[in-house]
Amino acid sequence: MNNIRYCLFVGAVVFFLISPLRTNADDGSRLWLRQTSSQKAQITLETKSSLTTDIAVNELTQGWHGGPVILKMSKRKGMKADAFTINIHNGSTTVISPSDIGLLYGVYHLLRLQGIGSIVDAVNGERSYSVTETPFHDIRVLDHWDNLDGNSERGYAGSSIFWKMNEEGVNDVAGIVNNPLHNTMYMRANASLGINGAVLNNVNASPRMLTHEVLDWVRQYADVLRPYGIKVYLSVNFSSPAVLDGLKTSDPMNKEVQRWWKQKVKEIYNLIPDFGGFLVKANSEGQPGPMDFGRTHADGANMLAKALRPYGGIVMWRAFVYSPTDPDRAKQACLEFKDLDGLFLDNVIIQIKNGPIDFQPREPFNPLFGTLQKTSNMVEFQVTQEYLGQSNHLAYLGTMWQEFFEDVDRYANYTAYQQQAHYNAISGVANIGTDASWCGHPLAQANWYAYGRMAWNPHLDAKSIAEEWAVQTFLSPQDSKITATVVDMLMRSREAVVDYEMPLGLHHQFGDSHYAPGPWQNFPGVRRDWLPVFYNKADSLGIGFDRTVATGSGNTAQYRDEFYHMVENVSTCPDKYLLWFHHVPWDYPCQSGRILWDELCFRYQHGLDEVRDIQRQWNSLQGEIDLDIFKDVQVRLMTQVRDAEWWKDGCLLYFQTFSRMAFPDYLDPPVHTLEECKSVKLNVGLYRSPSREELNRQR
Ligand code: GCW
């Protein structure tokens, strides 16, 4: 009898899983906000209600399982506006904050604590619980590199959720304004993490962004984002005065130009009284900027800052610049900004990519951190995985950002510097698009989550964040197989990518599209510092970029003493940065005890083995994870293993033409020839998950 019942049960499960009529299949769109409650929670709002408190109450009504909750606004001396306290006593909970946004953050935190199971006994009245949370960074921004035509630069999750604008000014996106029901998810997700700003367009900004027709859309976005505590910001094109209104110049010292920006800013604040400010990519990769007129970054930034200051707006001015005045691109940001320190107005923040080159799988931190002493600065992370396998590969970036924060804290005094800075901010380039599961790879949602959590508190560790995310996303208990497996996969993933793409400090080894290997790429007439050969410098003697003071570019001297001494000296330079800072002979003894050539082989092999193992881990969850999500990730992992093989074969076969050394026996013999590796276009098979519209059509 039991057997029959069991068979019926299994049959039903199988039918459920394969049934094409299944309507509740998981498309991943609910992100980490999946808790629901059938219980009617008793919620008391001890403060004037607002759209924001309505959202807070609604979230609790939908998801809270515990006893009564009181939401109370109360100012406390020294408490930041968006900080909050949660007290649980005798099973009753009070959330207190000086602002309604703080209350909303408190509610999301309460739901997170419930979700991860850490307050069960307090909610049951068995103990008291109290926590106060204060965000570390005051401004926590997501940068959307979205173009008005709907494309998202380096976006691998479909198209823009904000823009699809035709010539007539119709914005035909099934986005936040047009489809508020679905898209409250975007706001809820951000608010649940405390993300409080969104730059709505690409840093390669179209001047058209500042036309009245587009600004009116920005106003509509601002209106729907506001109740969730999210301010809107815009990337602006420095030539806008000339391009849009035919001014003869966009020189920041020109009175007419200054007047133009003041007028434009006024127009914006008339539409959006709490507009956040501008993000600017100037004199970088062909974008216009103050240097076109013989002016400095400070002249340009200050002109905009003056226009924004009366309204409380800020300028985020990017330090991603590399005019070829020095042959080492890693030095350029410091060279261009060091002497301007102290010349920027208070409401300018210099936005610095975490590393000195460009979002590589591993870079040492940018030496501009620790160099600027009198200017607010903010790190720019790339949440979208431009160089880490895009939406095909699993690469959890929490570990990368933890490494960054630990290093800048230790070697550049990050925490102390930010705490006294005029503005304390952080930004991340979003990995969000129109795909049903928002981020392309379902597990890449963890990167959005981790970015938000670390923006709130950079001292959180990547593993607990991964755990929080997995528990809430898969509704799986902390000690379950699903949680343990997924967390382990995430925690190993970034290092695996580093190993099979660019171990030991190698960087910028990409072919086209920043996806496939291309260490051999060397085109005449192209900027040297766009070419992989420029960065690996492989030759018969060895490999790596000499950035030492003694014999190389001198980039090491841009760091403060402790870091400088460590990396300048090849024997104390950590293996992970070896080829970043040194050109090293093929038989150089690495810290592992292996010679460099063998270590390189070991790393590439290890990266591939790790991905294979991660694939096995995922496959072991078959039947325990929603089938759609399971298959989606499974296909991507197959692709990742395939790509890791190409990377390993391509890079090692190419480097072998210089080292002339045999492959060690722990290396899987190459399955591809170097010629094949050179001709393959890996990214052609980029896996695309369906958009929400496509999914709806299929169902
Ligand atoms: O990482 C590089 C990208 C460009 C990007 C640029 C930048 C928006 O390849 O697509 O442009 O950096 O950060 O400005």
| Interval 33-81: pLDDT, tens | 999 998 888 999 999 999 999 999 999 999 999 999 999 999 989 999 9
HSE-CB for 168 with a 13 A CA cutoff: 2
The response to whether residue 199 sits with its C-beta less than 6 Å from ligand 1 reads no
- Cα 279 to averaged position of ligand 1 atoms, centre (Å): 14
Q: Which residues contact 430 (CB under 8 A, 6 or more apart)?
A: 142, 143, 144, 145, 155, 383, 384, 448
The response to whether residue 359 sits with its C-beta less than 6 Å from ligand 1 reads yes
What H or E segment, with its residue span, contains residue 638? helix 627-659
- Among candidate residues 538, 487, 507, 562, the one with its CA nearest the CA of residue 653: 538
- Residue 10 has a pLDDT of 41
Question: Ligand 1, residues 380, 386, 387, 527: which to mutate, most atoms within 8 A of Cβ?
Answer: 386
- Give φ, ψ of 434 to 5 degrees: -80, 0
Is the predicted pLDDT of residue 1 greater than 70, yes or no?
Answer: no
- Cα 618 to averaged position of ligand 1 atoms, centre (Å): 32
- Residue 11 has a pLDDT of 46
- Cα 304 to averaged position of ligand 1 atoms, centre (Å): 22
- Give the residue-averaged pLDDT of 103-111: 98
Catalytic residue among 153, 292, 341, 358: 358
The whole model's pTM is what? 0.94
Nearest ligand 1 atom to alpha carbon 204: 8
- Cα 334 to averaged position of ligand 1 atoms, centre (Å): 19
Nearest ligand 1 atom to alpha carbon 429: 13
Mean pLDDT over the full length of the chain: 93
285 is catalytic: yes
Give one word for 163, left, alpha or beta, with left for phi > 0 and alpha for psi -120 to 50: beta
Q: Is residue 676 packed enough to be buried (19+ CB in 10 Å), middle (13-18) or exposed (0-12)?
A: middle
Nearest ligand 1 atom to alpha carbon 353: 13
358 is catalytic: yes
Tens digits of per-residue pLDDT, 568-580? 999 999 999 999 9
The response to whether residue 145 sits with its C-beta less than 6 Å from ligand 1 reads yes
- Cα 281 to averaged position of ligand 1 atoms, centre (Å): 10
274 is catalytic: no
Nearest ligand 1 atom to alpha carbon 359: 1
The response to whether residue 443 sits with its C-beta less than 6 Å from ligand 1 reads no
Contact 314, 234 (CB under 8 A): no
Q: How far apart are CA 320 and CA 21, in angstroms?
A: 50
The response to whether residue 381 sits with its C-beta less than 6 Å from ligand 1 reads no
- Residue 8 has a pLDDT of 45
Q: Is residue 24 packed enough to be buried (19+ CB in 10 Å), middle (13-18) or exposed (0-12)?
A: exposed
The response to whether residue 154 sits with its C-beta less than 6 Å from ligand 1 reads yes
Tens digits of per-residue pLDDT, 139-170? 999 999 999 999 999 999 999 999 998 888 78
